[in-house]
Structure 1
Amino acid sequence: MRSLTLHLKVLVILLVSLGILITAYQIFILGIPMTEDETDDLWNIDAKVEFLASPREPVKLQMFVPPLAQDFVSLNESFISNNYGVSINRADGNRKVTWSARRANGKQTLYYRLVLTKRYSGEQAKAKGPIFRDSIPVEGAEKIAAEALLAPIRQHSADVETFISETIKRVNNRNDDNVKLLLGGDASTSKKAKVIELLLSIAHVPMQRVHTIRLAADIQQSPELWLRSFNGENWLYFSPETGEQGLPADRLVWWTGDDELVSLEGGKQAQVSFSLDNSEMNAIRLAKLTDENTDADFLEYTLYGLPLQTQQTFMIMVMIPIGVLVILILRNLGGLQTLGTFTPVLIALAFREMQLGYGIVFFTIITALGLSLRSYLEHLKLQMLPRLSVVLTFVVVLIAAISLFSHKLGLERGLSVALFPMVILTMTIERLSITWEERGGGHAFKVAIGTLFAATLAHLLMSVQELNYFIFTFPAVLMIMVGFMLAMGRYRGYRLTELFRFKAFLKD
Structure 2
Amino acid sequence: MRSLNLHLKILIATLVTLGIAITAYQILALGIPVTEDETDDLWNIDAKVEFIANPKDTVKVQMYVPPLSRDYISLNESFISNNYGVNVNRADGNRKVTWSARRANGNQTLYYRLVLTKRYSGEKAKIKGPIFRDSIVVEGPEKIAADALLAPIRQHSADVETFVSEAIKRVNNLSDDNVKLLLAGDTSVQNKARITETLLSIAHVPVEKVHTIRLVADQPQSPELWLRSFNGKDWLYFNPETGEAGLPQDRLLWWTGNDNLISVEGGKKATVSFSLNNSEMNAIRLAKLTDESTDADFLEYSLYSLPLQTQQTFMIMVMIPIGVLVILILRNLVGLQTLGTFTPVLIALAFRETQLGFGIVLFTIITALGLSLRSYLEHLKLQMLPRLSVVLTFVVVLIAAISLFSHKLGLERGLSVALFPMVILTMTIERLSITWEERGGGHAMKVAIGTLFAASLAHIIMSIPEFIYFVFTFPAILLILVGFMLAMGRYRGYRLTELIRFKAFLKEDAERETPK
Q: Which amino acid aligns with 2:213?
A: I
Aligned to 1:464: 464
Per-residue CA distance 1:352-405 (angstroms, 9 max, x = gap)? 012100000000000000110111111112222221111111111111111122
Aligned to 1:453: 453
Q: Following superposition of structure 1 onto structure 2, how do residues 58-137 of structure 1 map, counting pairs within 5 Å?
A: 58-137=58-137
Q: Quote how far apart the aligned CAs of 1:409 are.
A: 2.1
Q: Quote how far apart the aligned CAs of 1:125 are.
A: 1.6
Per-residue CA distance 1:12-61 (angstroms, 9 max, x = gap)? 11111111110000001100000001100000000000000001110000
SS of the aligned residue for 1:344 comes to: helix
Cα distance between partner residues in 1 of 2:318 and 2:87: 49
Q: Quote how far apart the aligned CAs of 1:408 are.
A: 2.2
Per-residue CA distance 1:463-508 (angstroms, 9 max, x = gap)? 0000000000000000011111111111100011111221222121
Q: Does 1:53 align with 2:53?
A: yes
Aligned to 2:237: 237
CA contact (8 A) 1:70 1:125 kept: no
Aligned to 2:14: 14
Structure 1's unaligned 5+ residue stretches are none
Q: Which amino acid aligns with 2:285?
A: R
SS of the aligned residue for 2:249 comes to: coil
Aligned to 1:256: 256
Cα distance between partner residues in 2 of 1:472 and 1:213: 38
SS of the aligned residue for 1:89 comes to: strand
The alignment's C-alpha RMSD in Å is 0.8
Cα distance between partner residues in 2 of 1:280 and 1:70: 21
State TM-score, norm by structure 2: 0.98
Q: Does 1:208 align with 2:211?
A: no
Q: Does 1:154 align with 2:154?
A: yes
SS of the aligned residue for 1:258 comes to: coil
Aligned to 1:277: 277
SS of the aligned residue for 1:333 comes to: helix
Q: Quote how far apart the aligned CAs of 1:75 are.
A: 0.5
Q: Quote how far apart the aligned CAs of 1:297 are.
A: 2.6
Aligned to 2:426: 426
Relative to structure 2, which stretch is displaced further, 403-412 or 332-341? 403-412
| Displacement over 6 Å in runs of 4+ | none
Q: Quote how far apart the aligned CAs of 1:122 are.
A: 3.8
Aligned to 1:486: 486
Q: Which amino acid aligns with 1:149?
A: L
Q: Which amino acid aligns with 2:364?
A: T
CA contact (8 A) 2:36 2:283 kept: yes
Cα distance between partner residues in 2 of 1:22 and 1:401: 50
Aligned to 1:30: 30
Per-residue CA distance 1:315-358 (angstroms, 9 max, x = gap)? 00000010000011011101110001111111100100121000
Q: Following superposition of structure 1 onto structure 2, how do residues 201-350 of structure 1 map, counting pairs within 5 Å?
A: 201-350=201-350
Q: Quote how far apart the aligned CAs of 1:126 are.
A: 1.6
Relative to structure 2, which stretch is displaced further, 363-372 or 430-439? 430-439
Cα distance between partner residues in 2 of 1:499 and 1:210: 72
Aligned to 2:144: 144
Q: Which amino acid aligns with 2:230?
A: F
Aligned to 1:444: 444
Aligned to 2:512: none
Relative to structure 2, which stretch is displaced further, 104-113 or 400-409? 400-409
Cα distance between partner residues in 2 of 1:291 and 1:428: 47
CA contact (8 A) 1:76 1:116 kept: yes
Q: Does 1:355 align with 2:345?
A: no
CA contact (8 A) 2:122 2:296 kept: no
SS of the aligned residue for 1:391 comes to: helix
Relative to structure 2, which stretch is displaced further, 86-95 or 394-403? 394-403
Count of matched residue pairs: 508
Cα distance between partner residues in 2 of 1:118 and 1:354: 42
Cα distance between partner residues in 2 of 1:383 and 1:115: 71
Cα distance between partner residues in 1 of 2:160 and 2:122: 27
SS of the aligned residue for 1:490 comes to: coil
CA contact (8 A) 1:30 1:120 kept: yes
CA contact (8 A) 1:153 1:163 kept: yes
CA contact (8 A) 1:53 1:108 kept: yes
Cα distance between partner residues in 2 of 1:441 and 1:385: 24
SS of the aligned residue for 2:334 comes to: coil
CA contact (8 A) 1:31 1:122 kept: no
CA contact (8 A) 2:20 2:477 kept: yes
Q: Which amino acid aligns with 1:113?
A: R
Cα distance between partner residues in 1 of 2:139 and 2:214: 38
